[in-house]
A = this chain, B = another copy of it.
Amino acid sequence: MDRKEFRDLASPDEAREAIGSLSLEGGVERVPLDDARGRVLVARLDAELDVPGFDRASLDGYALRAKDTFGADEADPARLTVTDEVHAGEEPAIEVGEGEAVEISTGAVMPTGADAMVPVERTDTEGDDVLVRTAVAPGDNVMFAGADVAAGERALGPGTRITPRDIGLLSALGIDEVPVRARPRVGIVSTGDELVRPGEPVDSDRGEIYDVNSYTIAAGVEDAGGEAVLYPHAGDDQDEMERLLREATEECDLVLSSGSTSASAVDVIYRVIEEQGKLLLHGVAVKPGKPMLVGRLDVSAPRSDGSEDEQRSSSGQSAYVGLPGYPVSAMMVFRTFVAPAIREAAGLPEPEAATVEGRMARQERYAEGRLRLMPVGVVTDGDGETLVYPVDKGSGATTSLAEADGVVEVDPGTDYLDEGESVTVHLFSPDVRPPTLLGVGEDDPTLNRLLDRLENPRYLAVGTRPGRRRLREGVPDVAVVAGPIDRHGAATAEAEHAGERATGTVELGRWDREWGLIVRPGNPAEIEGLADLIDRDLRFVNRTTDSGLRTSLGAAIADLADERGTTRHDLVDAIDGFDLGLRAHESPARNVAAGDADAGLGLRTTADRLDLGFVPIDDQPVRVLANPDRREKPGVRELARTLETDGYQQ
């Protein structure tokens, strides 16, 4: 078998067919009525009794013979003798004869002899008599036995997805247990030496990362109506992995694994499929998602242990799908190929087409000859139109999907999508709500608190410089920028400021933040300022040039160079670690905390939060800039109000 190269890629349709050829169904189970919501009936349920089971008074009043009221009205009531009373839950004691009436409660059994009832509001009592001030016809105000549901009537058909209303009908019929499709059991086997389950410690030096796919796919399985079974992580123990795969095959209708980068895991999977089933498909022409496997796993002879047997696949075989290892790829393949098959096996309909039409916010090139499943975010522009932008944090990113709203399917024949081109976004689920506000730019603790108070914001902490660029490109609503404006007259800052004026960018608010050097608790190295980094042998951790902090640091070093009559370049060269910029705003501080550096660039609030020491250098303004076309957008107005409330408005 040709293992790691996928030369003859199957088409997406072939992949759907291969999965469709496998039986994922979990059989039938009986569930109590209070667990039946959302489950799918496997058989028709007919009424086994009449509802109501008796002729029933619809109101409080008097049961009587209708013909005794003929001609009665307000002025000339019929006088009847009240012989008894009957309440709900009681068996009537006597018959109603001519000229007689029985006081009756709503829901009570109509006594024999009575064929109608009169509501109490249309009567008066006089001693033991009742004066009936209206004429009624036989059947008036009575619900006859079976009028609601008749015995033998078809109540619910097979395939019904049980709603609260259906539970009402089943309750009325006295049914307390219903036969439903078992949820397909989907086993998730985690492979990969480098993966660690969330909650356990991760060793980055060894290249360990958290296992993203297991819980994510499990949640996707449950979303699709399956029952996810998470098998323990086998690590790099090949025998254990093989044992788990075989166990999952025995117990589940479908086994999923997500491709590992370790060859040993792939080998085990191939071996188990070869020995115990058949590989149907090997590589699909989609991007992302090429390395997808589809196979059939036959269940071995039944075990002697009866309790295990009950959990066995009902079909005598299990389906196997190997998902790609990268989380975004794994989820895309799962959503596109696996979830529909699980829904079908669970008897659930495909969700109503949750799609949004929009225009591409920028050109996107693509020419790989494979169907592309492109994760995208959407944002509403100033005219209320939907803009669509690709979300791609690079191959291997685990989190892109959390920043996306849906997927655009790009045909293999499409070379590029032009800016402004119309596309259809398939939302991840019908209840996806695109963000009310799209912001980009600097990461900042004050900003984070502000965002917490907004309805449904999305903020991409790309840094000040990319934030400015994206705002100019017209995608986000706002950009948050930090760095020098006036005091430190850096050329770039000036240029950017001029750019703001030229494009009509609006400043919605601003605040200052104190930045400086984050040092170890108690400042054991006795660092007093920037000069120490230059003049002493200290290890420093910087931020990337995307960060506004880095811009301010550059300006401060330029000032110091002026003071010293030297060049900025000379000073920078003297700082050990100046060129090693980290993207994350807390990472320099965490390096200091871990003892890997003496000082890191950061904010006082970060130092305080992480119980580290802080050597202040200066304040820098943080500014919230809005796209002028979006000022009236509700999410932008909400942000502006929040800024105003907190006194951050200019």
Contact = CB atoms under 8 A, between A and B. Distances in A.
Contact of A216 (B91, B164, B452): B164
Interface string A158-201: 11010111111111111111000000000000001111111110
Given A168-B327, A215-B33, A396 B53 contact: no
A59 B325 CA distance: 12
Contact of A165 (B105, B161, B325, B404): B404
Interface string A45-58: 01101111110101
B151 A590 contact: yes
Interface stretch (A524-532, A578-586, A637-645): A578-586
A311 to B, nearest CB: 19
Contact of A398 (B51, B58, B152, B209): B51
A585 B393 CA distance: 65
B107 A397 contact: no
A352 interface: yes
Nearest to A430: B430
Given A148-B397, A152-B585, A398-B148, A331 B164 contact: yes
A88 B193 contact: yes
Copies of this chain per assembly: 2
Contact of A89 (B163, B213, B236): B236
Nearest to A202: B174
A177 B443 CA distance: 25
Nearest to A106: B261
A37 interface: yes
A622 interface: no
Interface stretch (A13-21, A217-225, A269-277, A279-287): A217-225
Contacts of A457: 157
Interface stretch (A139-147, A298-306, A556-564): A139-147
A174 B89 contact: no
A88 B443 contact: no
Given A443-B153, A448-B46, A216 B171 contact: yes
Contacts of A212: 168, 171-172
Given A46-B448, A152-B587, A199-B176, A193 B261 contact: no
A222 B37 contact: yes
Contacts of A650: none
Interface in A213-270: 213-220, 222-223, 228, 230, 236, 260-262
A30 interface: no
Nearest to A216: B168
Given A172-B398, A209-B52, A88 B262 contact: yes
A34 interface: yes
Contacts of A174: 196, 198-200, 202, 210
A44 interface: yes
A606 interface: yes
A487 B59 CA distance: 45
A550 to B, nearest CB: 14
A149 to B, nearest CB: 5
Interface in A420-459: 428-431, 433, 443, 448, 451-452, 454, 456-457, 459
Given A168-B398, A429-B163, A457-B157, A152 B443 contact: yes
A54 B587 CA distance: 12
| Chain B CB within 10 Å, residue with most, of A46, A52, A105, A216 | A216
B262 A105 contact: yes
Contact of A151 (B34, B192, B262, B587): B587
A158 to B, nearest CB: 5
A574 interface: no
B54 A207 contact: yes
A201 to B, nearest CB: 8
A401 B88 contact: no
A610 to B, nearest CB: 9
A349 interface: yes
A37 to B, nearest CB: 4
Interface of A: 33-34, 36-37, 44, 46-47, 49-54, 56, 58-60, 86-91, 105-109, 143-154, 156-159, 161, 163-177, 192-200, 202, 204-220, 222-223, 228, 230, 236, 260-262, 325, 327, 331, 349, 351-352, 393-399, 401-402, 404, 428-431, 433, 443, 448, 451-452, 454, 456-457, 459, 461, 582-587, 589-590, 606
26 contacts: A51-B210, A54-B204, A56-B207, A88-B261, A89-B194, A89-B208, A91-B205, A105-B262, A109-B205, A109-B206, A143-B395, A146-B584, A148-B393, A154-B451, A157-B452, A165-B402, A165-B404, A165-B428, A166-B402, A168-B399, A168-B401, A169-B402, A171-B213, A172-B209, A174-B199, A352-B431
Given A150-B461, A151-B586, 18 more contacts: A37-B219, A44-B452, A88-B193, A88-B207, A88-B261, A88-B262, A106-B261, A107-B194, A143-B394, A143-B397, A145-B204, A145-B587, A147-B583, A151-B587, A156-B402, A166-B402, A171-B198, A430-B430
Give the top 3 A-B pairs by smallest Cβ distance, nearest first. A150-B584, A152-B586, A176-B199
